[in-house]
Chain A
Amino acid sequence: MVSLVIPSDISFVVLTAVTIIGAIMALQAKELIYGAIALAISFIGIAGFFALLDAPYLAMLQIAIYVGAVVVLILFTIMLVRRERGEEMDKRTDAAEGSMGLWLAGLLALAISGVVALAGTSLPTQAPAASLPVSDLGPALTLQYPVPLIILALLLSAALLGALVLAKVER
């Protein structure tokens, strides 16, 4: 779909850069607000990946729920929680802790890359040409997997009530 307009290699590289840099900025930006906006940009990158992977419904869902709802919720919370202007909420982490976290994350990513490299020969390299139309998702959701859908609805209402009750806790 997207590959008709732009070669998929170029869009893959651009999306990778946007997603990874957005995720890093979300965690490292000095101001929490800028971090939330960088997180939104990273989510848009993921939505682009979904479009590239021939899942336009997921791309729309990602934009509507993550960028539209979750990030806005986070922004409101940051504004509620923020104290006087100028005070730095997020203290700089000390060096020992930071290098520890870097080692941990690097080792984890390296281990997964190793597994991928080992399994690489057995993984499919070519995506099948035939892709699924979006209209296949509805029947699969309601006919093939109806029970998870109902459980999801119950979980949604439980989470909504839980958030309401939590927000009413008095000092």
Chain B
Amino acid sequence: MVTLTSYLIVSAALLGIGVYGLSVKRNAIRILFAVEVIVNAANLNFAAFTRYMNPPQVSGQIIVFYSIAAAAMEAAVGLALILVAFRLNSTIDVRKLNKLKG
């Protein structure tokens, strides 16, 4: 029996995987992967909650629509930033990109 709780557990697991990636990985592209996984966990939550609403509501799906569009933008700008960082420093290891460190 699939209930709302099962979707929430899957979403929590995805969030955990994403946070692990954010805190451990050194490669900037991997960190972007982790961010995308976290955004997808949030989207899954919205879609699940809006499906189990009674009476049915469309607002959750609209929020997921906006979220997907925003995540696509974020990926485009993030990848452009990574390209610039690579061109200027010839590395994308975030532990080595520490010029702002005092």
Chain A interfacial positions (CB closer than 8 Å to B): 8-9, 12, 16, 19-20, 23-24, 26-27, 32, 35-36, 39, 42-43, 46, 49-50, 52-55, 57-58, 61-62, 65-66, 69-70, 73-74, 77-78, 80-81, 89-91, 93, 97-98, 100-102, 104-106, 108-109, 112-113, 116-117, 120, 123-128, 130-132, 136-137, 140-141, 144-145, 148, 152, 155-156, 159-160, 162-163, 166-167, 169, 171
Contact = CB atoms under 8 A, between A and B. Distances in A.
B4 interface: yes
A35 B33 contact: yes
A46 B5 contact: no
B51 A42 contact: no
Nearest to A22: B37
B34 to A, nearest CB: 6
Contacts, number: 229
A144 B88 CA distance: 46
Interface of B is mostly: helix
B73 interface: yes
A19 B44 CA distance: 11
B61 A137 contact: yes
